[in-house]
Amino acid sequence: MGKVLADPQKSGRRFFLAATSEELLCASPPRAANTNLIFPGAALSTHRPETKPSAEAGTGGTRTWFGKIFRMKLGAFDSVHIAAPCLLEALYRRESACPQRLEIKPWKAYRDYRDEGYGLLILEGKDWQRVRSAFQKKLMKPGEVVKLDTTVNEVLEDFMHRIDEICDHNGQMEDVYSEFNKWSFESICLVLYGKRFGLLQQDVEEESLNFIKAVKTMMATFGMMMVTPVELHKGLNTKVWQAHTKAWDDIFKTAKHSIDCRLQKHSANPQEDFLCDIYSGGQLSRKELYAAIAELQIAGVETTANSLLWALYNLSRNPHVQQKLFQEIQRVLDAQKSPNAESLRNMPYLKACLKESMRLSPSVPFTTRTIDTEMVLGNYVLPKGTVLMINSHALGCSEEYFRGWAEFRPERWLQRGSIHPFSHVPFGMGKRMCVGRRVAELQLHLALCWLIRKYRIVATDQEPVETLHSGILIPSRALPIAFQPRAGLCWGSAAHCSLSGDLLWGFPTSGTGREQLFVCSSFSHCHTSLILYFNKLSAVPVQYFNRKYPGFCTAHGSGINFISTFCYKFIPTFFDFIPTFSLRDADHKGGNEHRPTAAGNNSQCFV
């Protein structure tokens, strides 16, 4: 039944492994492996699509080299990769009532050691189905999830202030990955625990720092126990096992306290709180509630932050897409209105941008299944116990399923029926699809809305960013992005030309006999850059505008303003190339929308 495939060693492709790879391909059906590895990709280094897609290797390219179904063996870990929508659909149609995932042995070992409950990532069979059912009623129903938008927005508003505080004059953060993880951590904790941990403040409380430290320690030690038997660590009481146990102790201590307080607070009317409503249904024990919430929190932090960062990176490399997204947000939202679940319904392009980013850069490039009965898939006989790796990264990088796959083109998602539903599975599929999917999407959609509305996300370099696969797909270096505030193009008289921190254009409406350009003194260097740039390229705009407006003069205040206004409306990327600053967007409907204080000596006048 099996097919003999070409040897990847002779394919001319480069495959990066930190561990030895043996039997990458095999014609005979694979057998299940007894392993602690969650993702074999913990040892993989991959490449972004823009880095030589025809010659470089990555998890997204494995389908091209090896086919739609192939066997991979990394050390003791034996698995079968599938990367074709037809195969995923066939697997989905044959799933049992309680599909199995790859066993997470270090977590199970701790729960048994401390007599704690199992959560959704560990439970199997009927117990998993029971607990999943309890959470699914609240977390997978759109009508329930939309009620969390106010909670998510509360953290996002603080995050915008945090970005303003920590960005340098170029709009760059010292550690963008850490800051976005803080946002994600704070957001999911408020949703799950109903508690703020203060991670977006300057001075973070010790309890919050200990909680963060415990999560990081748990994940680090967990990774070490993925490649060696957890029974060995536990039996020898190694330092890794001790640290892992202590970390989980701290996590459960905080989780239990927060959950108990929340249950007590809403004991009279549990239906008014989603967590209390889940528990009041009587489908799960208190131990299972503790475990499930702790696992949801841990699983959601890095994946959500990572997805948002990749989306911003992709938008920074595609400013025309970003501008189109910004225009959609501006069209849907009033100037002073915060986005909410209702407004997101009118933003199809925003959702398409996130889908397109997750196609190219899925935070979780693999999801797993352990089949509980023998089946034939892609002309292969797969025995019971075979570990299947659903390679969503390879699916997204396939020319067969996504024409022009290397292009960041959100419009492809707006064409009904053009994409196979099983070619895009970033949250998994079927009955074991990520239970937090809708909450994560709400967080990501609202976050994109807040960020793109307030900032222009600018690429600080154009060098390729490679990816590393350590369970999730992460960048090999700090993402080269900067946050440039969208503000400052204002209309008004000279008396209204001091707007702290913003570039300001002011034109007296009457009584002066001449038109003037005003710039806040703190940004006077921006004026020089702008004028020099217009002078350097004056032939282009002058020739263009003279054809339509004879006698047009760029030296006149109205001429400069005319160019800036035209480019602002119709050529937004024009301003991205001004040497030392980027002209900022603004709401310039009239003279009073952004009325600043009197200019006095704080402004400079240029005729």
Averaged pLDDT for residues 483-487? 87
Question: DSSP 3-state helix, strand, coil percentages of the chain (rounded to 5)?
Answer: 50, 10, 40
The contacts of residue 194 (CB under 8 Å, 6+ apart) are 258, 261, 262, 265, 273, 275
Judging by beta carbons within 10 Å of its beta carbon (0-12, 13-18, 19+), is residue 360 exposed, middle or buried?
buried
* Domain-embedded: residue 53: no
Confidence of residue 562 (pLDDT cuts 50, 70, 90): low
pLDDT in tens, 355-392: 999 999 999 888 889 998 899 988 889 999 998 989 88
* Domain-embedded: residue 124: yes
Averaged pLDDT for residues 17-41? 31
Q: Which residue has the higher pLDDT, 58 or 81?
A: 81
Yes or no: say if 389 and 80 are a contact pair by the CB < 8 Å rule: yes
* Domain-embedded: residue 94: no
Q: Kindly tell me if the per-residue pLDDT of 123 is higher than 70.
A: yes
322 with 293, same domain: the answer is yes
DSSP E strand stretches across 478-542: 481-485, 517-520
* Domain-embedded: residue 294: yes
Task: Work out the end-to-end distance of the chain between its first and last CA atoms, rounded to an integer number of angstroms.
Answer: 82
Q: What is the pLDDT of residue 205?
A: 82
User: Across-strand partners of 474?
Assistant: 468
| DSSP classification of residue 601 | T
Q: Minimal CA–CA distance to 604: which of 511, 514, 503?
A: 503
451 with 356, same domain: the answer is yes
312 with 334, same domain: the answer is yes
Domain containing residue 281: CATH number:
1.10.630.10
188 with 251, same domain: the answer is yes
Element (H, E) at 369: strand 366-370
Q: Is 98 annotated as a binding residue?
A: no
Tokens, residue 250: 């701290």
Q: Kindly tell me if the per-residue pLDDT of 455 is higher than 60.
A: yes
Which ranges in 317-431 belong to alpha helices (H)?
319-332, 341-344, 348-360, 392-396
Q: Minimal CA–CA distance to 219: which of 38, 349, 51, 50?
A: 38
Q: Kindly tell me if the per-residue pLDDT of 190 is higher than 90.
A: yes
430 with 545, same domain: the answer is no
Judging by beta carbons within 10 Å of its beta carbon (0-12, 13-18, 19+), is residue 570 exposed, middle or buried?
exposed
The torsion angles phi and psi of 53, rounded to 5 degrees, stand at -60, -25
Confidence of residue 417 (pLDDT cuts 50, 70, 90): confident
C-alpha–C-alpha distance, residues 49 and 61, integer Å: 9
Q: What is the pLDDT of residue 95?
A: 86
Residue that is last in its domain, among 454, 485, 516: 485
Which ranges in 399-468 belong to alpha helices (H)?
437-454
Percent of the chain residues topping a pLDDT of 70: 68
Which ranges in 70-229 belong to alpha helices (H)?
85-93, 105-114, 125-139, 142-145, 149-166, 176-193, 206-224
What's the gap between Cα 43 and its chain centre?
A: 22
Average pLDDT, the chain: 75
Q: Minimal CA–CA distance to 22: which of 66, 78, 69, 80?
A: 78
Positive or negative torsion for Cα 333, 357, 390, 178: negative
Q: In 3-state terms, what secondary structure has residue 577?
A: helix
Q: What is the pLDDT of residue 515?
A: 33
Q: Could you tell me the residue range of the domain that residue 561 belongs to?
A: 494-606
132 with 208, same domain: the answer is yes
445 with 523, same domain: the answer is no
Element (H, E) at 553: none
pLDDT in tens, 439-453: 999 999 999 999 999
Yes or no: say if 582 and 576 are a contact pair by the CB < 8 Å rule: yes
Residue that is last in its domain, among 485, 513, 536: 485
Other CB atoms within 10 A of residue 56 CB = 18
Residue that is last in its domain, among 429, 452, 485: 485
Q: Kindly tell me if the per-residue pLDDT of 161 is higher than 70.
A: yes
337 with 415, same domain: the answer is yes
Positive or negative torsion for Cα 547, 553, 554, 557: negative
* Domain-embedded: residue 236: yes
Q: Kindly tell me if the per-residue pLDDT of 218 is higher than 80.
A: yes
Yes or no: say if 24 and 72 are a contact pair by the CB < 8 Å rule: yes
Q: What is the pLDDT of residue 75?
A: 64
374 with 511, same domain: the answer is no
287 with 417, same domain: the answer is yes
168-172, 343-347, 377-381 — which is least confidently predicted?
A: 377-381
Q: Which residue has the higher pLDDT, 74 or 114?
A: 114
* Domain-embedded: residue 91: no
Positive or negative torsion for Cα 439, 441, 446, 447: positive
C-alpha–C-alpha distance, residues 37 and 469, integer Å: 13
Residue written as token pair 């249904």:
281
Which ranges in 225-344 belong to alpha helices (H)?
230-236, 239-265, 274-280, 286-316, 319-332, 341-344
Give the side-chain half-sphere CA count within 13 A for 318: 20
Give the side-chain half-sphere CA count within 13 A for 156: 25
Q: Kindly tell me if the per-residue pLDDT of 34 is higher than 70.
A: no
Pairing of strands 467-469, 473-475: antiparallel
367 with 230, same domain: the answer is yes
* Domain-embedded: residue 73: no
480 with 572, same domain: the answer is no
Q: Minimal CA–CA distance to 254: which of 218, 303, 306?
A: 218
C-alpha–C-alpha distance, residues 211 and 298, integer Å: 11
> What is the tally of structural domains in the chain?
2
* Domain-embedded: residue 366: yes
C-alpha–C-alpha distance, residues 104 and 248, integer Å: 14
C-alpha–C-alpha distance, residues 399 and 83, integer Å: 13
C-alpha–C-alpha distance, residues 300 and 357, integer Å: 18
63-67, 196-200, 576-580 — which is least confidently predicted?
A: 576-580
